[in-house]
Chain A
Amino acid sequence: MVQHTFGVSLIAVLLVVGPHMNRTAVAAPQTVQTEISFNRDIRPILSENCFACHGIDAEKREADLRLDLPEAAVGTVDDNAAIVPGKPGESLLWHRVTATDSDEIMPPADSHKKLTDRQKETLRQWIQQGAHYQKHWAFERPEKPAGDGIDYFVQRALEADGVNFSPEADRPTLIRRVSMTLTGLPPTIGEVDAFLNDKSDQAYEAMVDRYLASPRFGEEMARHWLDVARYGDTHGMHLDNERQTWAYRDWVVSAFNRNQPYDQFTIDQLAGDLLPQPTQDQLVATGFNRCNVTTGEGGSIQKEFIFRYAVDRASTTAQAWLGLTAGCAVCHDHKYDPISQKEFYSLYAFFNSNADPAMDGNAILTQPVIKVKPPDYDTKIKEFVDREAALQKAIQEKAATVVYSDPAELNPRPPVQETETVWFEDAFPAGAKVNAPGAVLVDEPVGSGSKSLKVVGAGLAQTFYDKGAQPLTSPDQGKFFLNVFLDPQDPPEEIMIQFLTKTWNHRAIWGADLIDWGKQHSTERFAAGGLPPPGEWVKLEFDVTSVGLKAANKVNGFAFTVHGGTAYFDKMGVVGQLDPVNDPTLSHTAWRNAQTGKDTPGAPSDVNQWLKEGPQKERKPEELKRLRDYYVSQVCLTTREPFAALKSEVSAVNKDRTDYEQSVPSTFVFRDLPKPRDSFMMIRGEYDAPGEPVTPATPAVLPPMKQAGERANRLDLAKWIVAPENPLTARVAVNRFWQQVFGIGLVKTSHDFGTQGTLPTHPELLDWIAVSFQQNGWDVKQLMRLMLTSQTYRQQSIAPTERWVADPENQQLARGPRFRLDAEQLRDQTLFVSGLMVHEMGGKGVNPYQPPNIWEPLAFGGSNTRYYKRGNGDDLYRRTIYTFFKRTAPHPMLENFDAPAREQSCIRRDRTNTPLQALQLLNDVQHFEAARAFAQRMMETAKTPEERIQFAYRSVLSRLPDKEESRVLIEFFNRQLAKYQATPDAAKQAIQFGDSKLPSGVNEPELAAWTLVANLILNLDEAIVRN
Chain B
Amino acid sequence: MNKPNPLFDHQVLQTRRQFFGDVGIRFGGIAMASMMASQLNAQEIEDRVHPALPNLPHFPGKAKSVIYLHMNGGPSQLDTWDYKPNLVEQFDKDLPKDFLGNRITTMTSGQAKFPVAPSKYEFKQHGECGRWVSSLLPHTAKIVDDIALIKTVHTNAINHDPACTFVMTGSEVPGKPCMGSWISYGLGAETNNLPAFVALVPNFPNGSNAQALYTRMWGPGFLPGKHSGVVLRAGAEPVLYLENPPGVDRSDRRAMLDALGKLNTKGFEKFGDPDIQTRIAQYEMAYRMQSSVPELTDLSQETKLTKELYGPNVEKPGSFAQSALLARRLVERGVRMVQIMHRGWDSHGNLPVELGNQCMDTDQACAALITDLKQRGMLKDTLVVWGGEFGRTVYSQGKLTKERYGRDHHPRNFCMWMAGGGIKGGVELGETDEYSYNPISDPVHINEINATILHCLGIDHERFTLRYQGLDQRLTGVEPMKVVKKILA
Contacts and interface: CB of A to CB of B under 8 A. Distances in A.
A916 interface: yes
Contact of B471 (A45, A239, A325, A861): A325
Contacts of A889: 214-215
A758 B247 contact: no
Nearest to A800: B272
A48 to B, nearest CB: 6
B369 to A, nearest CB: 21
Interface in B414-467: 462-463, 467
Task: Count chain B CB atoms within 10 A of each CB in A21, A48, A919 and give the residue with the most.
Answer: A919
Interface string A920-964: 101111001000000000000000000000000000000000001
Contacts of A989: 246-247
B357 interface: no
Contact of A913 (B28, B278, B462, B463): B278
A922 B267 contact: no
A44 B246 contact: no
A29 B211 CA distance: 60
A386 B247 CA distance: 62
Interface in B183-226: 195, 201, 203, 210-216, 219, 224-226
B216 A809 contact: no
A269 interface: no
A314 B407 CA distance: 37
Interface residues of B, number: 106
Interface in B5-47: 9, 12-13, 16-17, 20, 22, 24-32, 36, 39-40, 42-43
B255 A116 contact: no
A674 interface: no
Given A299-B105, A1024-B279, A924 B212 contact: no
B272 A1019 contact: no
A751 B247 contact: no
A818 B201 contact: no
Contacts of A804: 272-275
B112 interface: no
B28 A25 contact: yes
B39 A10 contact: yes
A14 to B, nearest CB: 7
Given A798-B271, A912-B224, A913-B279, A240 B212 contact: yes
B272 A803 contact: yes
Contact of B252 (A48, A319, A757, A1012): A1012
A328 B29 contact: no
A7 B273 CA distance: 18
Interface in A667-706: 688
A7 B39 CA distance: 8
Contact of A993 (B195, B203, B245, B262): B245
Contact of B462 (A22, A112, A991): A112
Contacts of B255: 972, 975-976
Given A805-B274, A988-B247, A860 B470 contact: no
Contacts of B36: 11, 14
Contact of A1012 (B248, B273, B289): B248
Nearest to B271: A798
A808 interface: yes
Interface residues of A, number: 143
Contacts of A801: 272-274
Contacts of B235: 853
Given A21-B25, A297-B161, A903-B174, A799 B272 contact: yes
B271 A118 contact: no
Contacts of A5: 2
Interface in A892-926: 892, 895-898, 901, 903-904, 910, 912-920, 922-925
Interface stretch (B138-146, B236-244, B295-303): B236-244
B138 to A, nearest CB: 28
A3 B278 CA distance: 16
Interface string A1004-1023: 00001000100110011110
Contact of B282 (A860, A914, A924, A964): A914
Contacts of A2: 268-269, 272
B28 A119 contact: yes
B175 A117 contact: no
Contact of A22 (B25, B40, B272): B25
A3 B277 CA distance: 13
B247 A916 contact: no
B469 A328 contact: yes
A910 B224 contact: yes
Nearest to B467: A756
A462 interface: no
Contacts of B270: 798
Given A7-B40, A851-B240, A915-B283, A1016 B256 contact: yes
Contacts of B471: 325, 328, 335, 756
B203 to A, nearest CB: 8
Contacts of B269: 1-2
Task: Count chain A CB atoms within 10 A of each CB in B234, B239, B266 and give the residue with the most.
Answer: B266
B1 interface: yes
Contact of B244 (A15, A923, A1025): A923
A1015 B248 CA distance: 11
A237 interface: yes
Contacts of B262: 968
Nearest to A803: B272
Contacts of B129: none
Nearest to A908: B222
Interface of A: 1-8, 10-11, 14-15, 18-19, 21-22, 25-26, 28-30, 44-45, 48, 112, 116-119, 122, 236-240, 293, 295, 297-302, 308, 319, 325, 327-328, 331, 334-337, 688, 748-749, 751-752, 754-759, 761, 797-801, 803-805, 807-809, 811, 818, 820, 851, 853, 857-861, 863, 888-890, 892, 895-898, 901, 903-904, 910, 912-920, 922-925, 928, 964-965, 968-969, 971-972, 975-976, 979-980, 985-993, 1008, 1012, 1015-1016, 1019-1022, 1024-1025, 1027
8 contacts: A14-B32, A301-B158, A336-B470, A801-B274, A803-B272, A851-B241, A901-B174, A965-B263
Of all A-B residue pairs in the complex, the 8 with the closest CB atoms, nearest first, are A990-B247, A299-B105, A989-B247, A756-B470, A918-B286, A860-B212, A989-B246, A118-B30
